[in-house]
């Protein structure tokens, strides 16, 4: 038995099957639960502190990503109101906000790994940049101004504020890490269900300038309290501070297959969230009825994220991705493509949100499976690369969607002939291809 003032390397199991993350933790005398100079560590995978930390992740996810995912409401407003009405590239604002934020996680992860003492400052500094970006966006007079402020600057702040989750969540949640990531990402779904209603009301009542200023202040008011619980479990001096980056997972065929499917999914996934409100308007929907498409889409994504997070802790991630990819494909072609009224469109929003919206919650299992093949790989860097892949796809989807809409009206019935036909087919095709890892497993490429 080591003395209470010594340290030893302890192997902490990271979720089943056994993969181990090596960290330095202080040892303690049996029965005392005290480490070193009267210091004790809270338990992992449960307990008050672990749940409060997970709640803070849920809230940060909701505010950081939820605003970007609700850009469809702004898209509709900017397209029909001065000074942006008739301008091109309005969709690029939302694509930049989400796409760059996905990609920005890689440099932020590198920065916080090289300088771990900066992690505690990342969230408050990032949230401050987000507030400034929205405040500056409220003075915009052109789409270019919006792209710089509400798009690029917001993404930089959001990526910085979110990245510490990758370090802290592995300390607090070990055996139930898939569930923890799923619960975190469910915050995006819940906020995406609430924010569209609030944003639509603010835009209709006060215009975009006041709306952006209110959002900036709300980010501070809602996130400041949870920052008290957003903290590491292990003292910085007791964690293994390796500053090496093992990128060998890029030579792992499993990771490359999953990453390609992830990029394909991202190319089409964001399009419904951007264009569903305007598509609903083309069916005669009122302002509230068109906003309801985003509410249903994101509410279902919240539930889907919880389910996917729990599922990948128990079942093969390839099977989980294959099922959701098939479900997404069928809902796009059979529900959105055949919609001529709001009822089937709302059903589509629910089913598509539950299937496609849960995709990112499978990343924890991809990290786990990749680490089995490349033991030296850093799971946080794997996540960051998956996020960057989705970010590249998101950035491409904005300009691509403009091209698809200009493809002209197809000589087809139902929604396929509404002017959105090319967009619908592209979304369905990318949803189907996103699950090709299931086929790769069947033919023995795994």
pLDDT digits (tens, 9 = 90+) for 335-387: 999 988 999 999 999 999 999 999 988 998 999 899 888 888 888 899 999 99
Q: What is the DSSP string of 146-161?
A: HIIIIIIIHHHHHHHH
Q: Which of 29-33, 101-105, 312-316 has the lowest mean pLDDT?
A: 29-33
Q: Each residue of 407-420: pLDDT tens digit? A: 766 767 688 888 88
The residues pairing with 11 across neighbouring beta strands, listed in sequence order, are: 22
The pLDDT of residue 428 is 94
First to last CA, the chain: 43
* Predicted confidence (pLDDT) at residue 14 exceeds the cutoff of 70: no
Give me the helices (H) in 224-334, please.
253-282, 287-312, 317-331
CATH number belonging to the domain at 48-233+245-442, selected among 1.20.1250.20, 1.10.10.10, 1.10.287.70, 3.30.1370.60? 1.20.1250.20
82-86, 137-141, 332-336: least confident range: 82-86
**Cβ(181)–Cβ(54) under 8 Å?**
no
Band of residue 51 on the pLDDT scale cut at 50, 70, 90? very high
Q: Please choose, from the candidates 150, 139, 95, 439, the residue with its C-alpha nearest in 3D space to the C-alpha of residue 275.
A: 95
Q: How far apart are CA 191 and CA 294, in angstroms?
A: 11
User: Of 60-64, 104-108, 132-136, 239-243, which gets the smallest average pLDDT?
Assistant: 239-243
Q: What residues does each domain of the chain span? A: 1-41, 48-233+245-442
Predicted confidence at residue 258, as pLDDT, reads 94
């Amino acid at each position: 038995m080591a003395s209470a003032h010594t340290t030893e390397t302890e192997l902490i199991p990271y979720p089943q099957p056994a993969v181990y993350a090596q960290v330095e933790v202080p040892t303690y005398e049996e029965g005392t639960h005290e480490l070193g100079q009267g210091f004790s560590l809270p338990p992992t995978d449960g307990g008050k502190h672990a749940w409060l930390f997970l709640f803070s992740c849920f809230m940060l996810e909701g505010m950081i990503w939820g605003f970007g995912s609700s850009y469809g409401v702004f898209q509709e407003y900017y397209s029909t109101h001065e000074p942006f009405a008739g301008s091109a590239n309005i969709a690029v604002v939302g694509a930049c906000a989400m796409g760059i934020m996905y990609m920005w996680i890689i440099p932020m992860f590198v920065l916080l790994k090289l300088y771990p003492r900066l992690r505690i400052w990342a969230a408050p500094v990032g949230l401050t940049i987000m507030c400034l970006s929205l405040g500056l966006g409220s003075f915009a007079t052109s789409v270019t101004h919006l792209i710089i402020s509400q798009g690029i600057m917001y993404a930089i702040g959001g990526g910085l504020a979110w990245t510490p989750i990758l370090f802290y969540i592995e300390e607090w949640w070990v055996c139930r890490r898939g569930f923890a990531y799923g619960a975190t990402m469910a915050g995006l779904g819940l906020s995406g269900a609430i924010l569209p209603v609030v944003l639509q009301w603010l835009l209709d009542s006060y215009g975009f300038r006041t709306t952006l200023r209110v959002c900036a202040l709300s980010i501070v008011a809602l996130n400041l309290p949870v920052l008290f619980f957003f903290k590491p479990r292990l003292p910085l001096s007791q964690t293994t501070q390796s500053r090496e980056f093992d990128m060998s997972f890029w030579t792992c065929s499993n990771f490359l297959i999953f990453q390609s499917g992830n990029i394909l999914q991202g190319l089409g996934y964001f399009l419904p969230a951007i264009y569903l409100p305007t598509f609903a308007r083309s069916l005669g929907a009122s302002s509230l009825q068109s906003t309801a498409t985003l509410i249903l889409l994101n509410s279902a994504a919240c539930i889907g994220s919880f389910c996917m997070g729990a599922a990948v802790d128990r079942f093969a991630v390839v099977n989980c991705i294959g099922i959701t990819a098939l479900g997404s494909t069928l809902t796009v072609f059979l529900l959105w493509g055949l919609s001529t009224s709001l009822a089937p469109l709302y059903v589509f929003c629910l089913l598509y949100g539950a299937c496609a919206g849960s995709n990112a919650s499978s990343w924890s299992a991809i990290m786990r499976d990749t680490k089995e093949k490349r033991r030296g790989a850093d799971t946080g860097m794997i996540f960051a690369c998956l996020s960057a892949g989705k970010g590249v796809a998101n950035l491409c989807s904005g300009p691509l969607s403009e091209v698809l809409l200009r493809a002209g009206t197809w000589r087809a019935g139902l929604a396929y002939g509404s002017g959105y036909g090319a967009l619908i087919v592209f979304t369905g095709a990318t949803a189907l291809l996103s699950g090709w890892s299931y086929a790769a497993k069947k033919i023995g490429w795994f």
